[in-house]
Amino acid sequence: MGEGGEEMVRNKQVVLKKFAVGVPKETDMEIRQGKASLRSPTAVEGAIVVKNLYLSCDPYMRGRMRDYADSYIPPFQPGSVIEGFGVAKVVDSTNPNFCVGDYITGLTGWEEYSTIVRTEQVRKIEVFDVPLSYHVGLLGMTGFTAYVGFYEICAPKKGDYVFVSAASGAVGQLVGQLAKLHGCYVVGSAGSAQKVDLLKNKLGFDEAFNYKEEPDLTEALRSYFPKGIDIYFDNVGGAMLDAALLNMRVRGRVAICGMVSQHTVSDPKGISNLYTLVMKRIRMEGFIQSDYLHLFPKFLSTIIDLYKQGRIVYIEDMNEGLENGPEAFVGLFTGNNVGKQVVCVSRE
Does residue 3 have a pLDDT over 60? no
More confident residue, 128 or 263: 128
Does residue 213 have a pLDDT over 90? yes
Does residue 268 have a pLDDT over 70? no
* 332 vs 324: CA distance, rounded Å: 13
pLDDT value at position 330?
94
* Residue range 107-117: mean pLDDT, rounded: 96
Percentage above 70 pLDDT, the chain: 95
Mean pLDDT rounded to a whole number for the chain:
93
Contact between 110 and 85 under an 8 Å Cβ cutoff? The reply is no
Contact between 125 and 71 under an 8 Å Cβ cutoff? The reply is no
pLDDT value at position 307?
96
Position 68 confidence tier, pLDDT thresholds 50, 70, 90: confident
**Each residue of 307-348: pLDDT tens digit?**
999 999 999 999 999 999 999 999 998 888 889 999 999 997
* Residue range 230-242: mean pLDDT, rounded: 95
Does residue 262 have a pLDDT over 70? no
Percentage above 90 pLDDT, the chain: 80
* 339 vs 333: CA distance, rounded Å: 13
* Residue range 68-91: mean pLDDT, rounded: 89
CA distances from 43 to 118, 138, 247 (A): 14, 36, 58
Position 172 confidence tier, pLDDT thresholds 50, 70, 90: very high
Does residue 114 have a pLDDT over 60? yes
pLDDT value at position 260?
67
